Structure 1
């Protein structure tokens, strides 16, 4: 996780997100003290399985519980479809445009 703007952080995940990388995904998706908004950038992800979706859901639910705005940036059609088929589009606040996602987060959602 890296700071982007005041209390807004970006988590960029890349490659294949599957069960073999569960702990790495979980470690990356930890809320940091003081963060008020987090963008999970999946533009570098080529594949994700149910383990990755489960970790994303866990993260988004924790963020909501802690009043931290969260958004997920996804541009790969297969990942957008997977998230949609799993019924998680609303839970993840999915965006396919980085500027729109950042505007959403910076507006206080």
Structure 2
């Protein structure tokens, strides 16, 4: 599957970004850029729909951490929504699931506002 990242929804309080495919050394910069663009305009949260992520490497985890910390400094929350089974497994093995706000669905992540 080809990598795809889209800004699915942009509201006053939040932006929803959907990611599909593999997040790795080559695609992580595109994801970072999309998140930064979604954070423009005074939103309070970025909801990252990761239901379509088939694979993540250590670069992806590092990118998630850096973006999380950068957004937090700006007062913007990063909420991960609908993790695929592959992502859930990585979070279980690495313990990163405790570092992020992870929601079972996009709707739950949005309603957190």
Superposition TM-score, scaled by structure 1 size:
0.83
Unpaired runs of 5+ in structure 1? none
Query: Displacement of 1:39 after TM fit?
Result: 0.2
Q: Which one has more relative contact order, counting CA pairs under 8 Å at least 6 apart?
A: 1
CA distance in 1, matches of 2:48, 2:69: 13
RMSD of aligned Cα (Å): 1.7
Question: Please, which moves more after superposition, 68-77 or 39-48?
Answer: 68-77
- Between the two proteins, the alignment pairs up a number of residues equal to 105
**2:27 — aligned with what?**
21
**1:65 — aligned with what?**
73
SS at match of 2:27: helix
**1:56 — aligned with what?**
64
Q: How far does the alpha carbon of each residue in 1:22-62 deviate from its partner, in whole angstroms, 9 at most, with x for none?
A: 32122122132412111011111111111111111111111
Superposition TM-score, scaled by structure 2 size:
0.80
Q: How far does the alpha carbon of each residue in 1:55-90 deviate from its partner, in whole angstroms, 9 at most, with x for none?
A: 111111112111112200133222112023222213
**2:103 — aligned with what?**
95
Unpaired runs of 5+ in structure 2? 1-6
Q: Runs of 4+ in structure 1 displaced over 3 angstroms? A: 1-4
